[in-house]
Amino acid sequence: MIKKIIAAAGLYLWFGISAGAWAEKPQVVILATGGTIAGAGESAVGARYAAAKLPIDKLLSAVPQIHQLAQVSGEQVAQIASQAMTSEIWLKLARRVDKQLRRKEVAGVVITHGTDTLEETAYFLQLVIGSDKPVVLVGSMRPPTSLSADGNINLYNAVAVAASEAARGRGVMVVMNDEIHAAHSVTKSHTTALNTFVSRGKGPLGHVEYGSINFYQPPQPQRLSPFDIRKLESLPVVDIVYGYANASPRPVEALVVAGSQGIVHAGVGNGNLFPAVEQALIEARRKQVVIVRSARVGSGHVLRNAEVDDDKHDFVVADDLSPQKARILLMLALTQSQQSSQIQEWFYRL
């Protein structure tokens, strides 16, 4: 009898402590969208695999250690390879993130994502989510079936960052390969390497090793977004035209005919344009298409009115945004304004 009472008391104590410890942990919601982190391959040493195969509960059960960091729950928002990402999924995802962050008890959100367009989704969310709680995108370069797969440790580190008080007020972040990057500057820089994500110019925000976080700078005051997506069903059509020697004006001409509302040109050097393409873009602007000059070189700022007379042609420059991120800002900008001067101000500020 005495043994039974001691056992019952022990059990109560264990559950009591566990429940207490559980209640004290921050809540983190994981929204899954697919990618290699949820992929599966035929062989542990072969390059052939398919992305977006495992559902969220399988991803979570593969990393039981995340429950030591936070009270974690998961939700499947999409199940795609990220090369198939669409504006519609971005809008749906942004609404899910917003809904979760509005819950007082939620400390932060993690989004599992393919790495190919991860930086685009991160920047889209950066522009539309108005919360100082952490939003962390994470992926992997190797599928879970691979030898030395990187997904589990990346997910563990992402949850640690999302649960951390120190991560508040830092906008949307990307956690990969032990580094924490800001959505604005992060980019994929190598087709297959584990250390593919870099923030050229600015460097990473910090690093995270086995859940231990170190930010290099204090949080910056958050830049408020002027874009409200609550009533949007779709985004304006904006396309990218790549610049090169002896370039053809035909892609620009065809896009105007097809109804593009904006064109981002990925120019050479400081966003420079082959003369026939410049002429086609001037014509496009006359037809109310908004033109953004960006650069294909991968780092640096595009300077206004350097070799191209942006004022005269009513062009916008992308500042330090890559062509793919300039496209996202232009899509959102066009939901509010057609004016180059207003759009330029957003490119300098956001």
The least distance separating ligand SIN from the CB of residue 109, rounded to whole angstroms, comes to 19
Catalytic residue among 36, 115, 117, 121: 36
The least distance separating ligand SIN from the CB of residue 140, rounded to whole angstroms, comes to 7
User: In the annotation, is 36 catalytic?
Assistant: yes
The least distance separating ligand SIN from the CB of residue 177, rounded to whole angstroms, comes to 12
The least distance separating ligand SIN from the CB of residue 182, rounded to whole angstroms, comes to 20
Q: For the chain, give the secondary structure using H, E and C.
A: CHHHHHHHHHHHHHHHHHHHHHHHCCEEEEEEEECHHHCEECCCCCCCEECCCCCHHHHHHCCCCHHHHCEEEEEEEEEECHHHCCHHHHHHHHHHHHHHHHCCCEEEEEEECCCCCHHHHHHHHHHHCCCCCCEEEECCCCCCCCCCCCHHHHHHHHHHHHCCHHHCCCCEEEEECCEEEECCCEEECCCCCCCCEEECCCCCCEEEECCEEEECCCCCCCCCCCCCCCCCCCCCCEEEEECCCCCCCHHHHHHHHHCCCEEEEEEECCCECCHHHHHHHHHHHHCCCEEEEEECCCCCCCCCCCCCCHHHHCCEECCCCCHHHHHHHHHHHHCCCCCHHHHHHHHHHC
Identity of the residue, 82 or 100, whose beta carbon is nearer to ligand SIN in the bound complex = 82
The least distance separating ligand SIN from the CB of residue 59, rounded to whole angstroms, comes to 13
Identity of the residue, 83 or 341, whose beta carbon is nearer to ligand SIN in the bound complex = 83
Identity of the residue, 83 or 220, whose beta carbon is nearer to ligand SIN in the bound complex = 83
Residue of closest CB approach to ligand SIN: 114
Which stretches of the chain bind ligand SIN, using CB under 6 A?
35-36, 51, 81-83, 114-116, 139, 141
Identity of the residue, 68 or 83, whose beta carbon is nearer to ligand SIN in the bound complex = 83
Q: Catalytic site residues? A: 36
